[in-house]
Amino acid sequence: MKNTATLLITCPDTKGIVAAIADFLYQHDANILHADQHQDAENNLFLMRVEWDIANFNLDDAAFSNAFAPIAVKFNMQWQLKKSQQKARVAIMVSQYDHCLADLLHRHKSGELACEIPLVISNHRDTEALVKFYGIDFHYLPMTKETKSTVEAAEFKLFTQYNIDLIVLARYMQILSPDFVARYPQKIINIHHSFLPAFIGAKPYHRAFERGVKLIGATAHYVTEVLDEGPIIEQGIDRISHRDQVEDLIQKGRDLERVVLSKAVSWHIENRILLYANKTVIFD
């Protein structure tokens, strides 16, 4: 397992930012492994991700914050420091469809997803045996309109109990309340079975079939209060024809959903995403 630190930066675009960061890391014996940046001219923004080996790095987290403060102030930076050894703790929420859940659990078991998944929550029992097969705690929390607030309160307690950093909606067929979304900003990833912004809401494959589209897609995005309009992380498409029926669209779509969601989760836990203006920058 690699032992690295990652610095994510957002600030107004100006000269000297890259040089200042590189010199700072050099002065503290950092061995830079990856560095990537993006300039948004329209918004006058500079965004950067830099990752380094910390084997000989001579600053701990507290010392880093103090030492880096003058640079952050000079360039008016918003910044985050992440350590690869501090694995994200992920909760998965699912209803009855298990294809995305099964894919995430398999990738996690094989080491492809470098995170911890201590908890799965569902409003159905269909996936309980699958979750327990992987040795993960399963919590069955059925929900109705009348019990929504009570159930969400129970979910909040579980997220606190398990120290959850990221919530993944793996075809969780419930609309989260504004309070739920507000509690976990930029920490909820959803997979929508459509190439957004087309066919938002329920049954998008049926609507795509009725419209006679030639491409279907899937979209992984961060959840906001506005349904299916959060910042998009990843999308995938597949070509269809007049011979495909609704069932064919659903099957092809499920294959897309698995891959798109796993990529989005992977990029998040690897600290490769920065958000601005309802958009995402995905660093290599």
Active centre residues (catalytic):
228
Burial of 67 (0-12, 13-18, 19+ CB in 10 A): middle
* Among 264, 231, 220, CA closest to 88: 264
Q: How far is CA 209 from CA 99, 199, 277, in A?
A: 21, 11, 32
CA distance 58 to 206: 57
Say if residues 169 and 93 touch (Cβ distance below 8 Å).
yes
| The token pair that represents 195 in the structure block | 């190439």
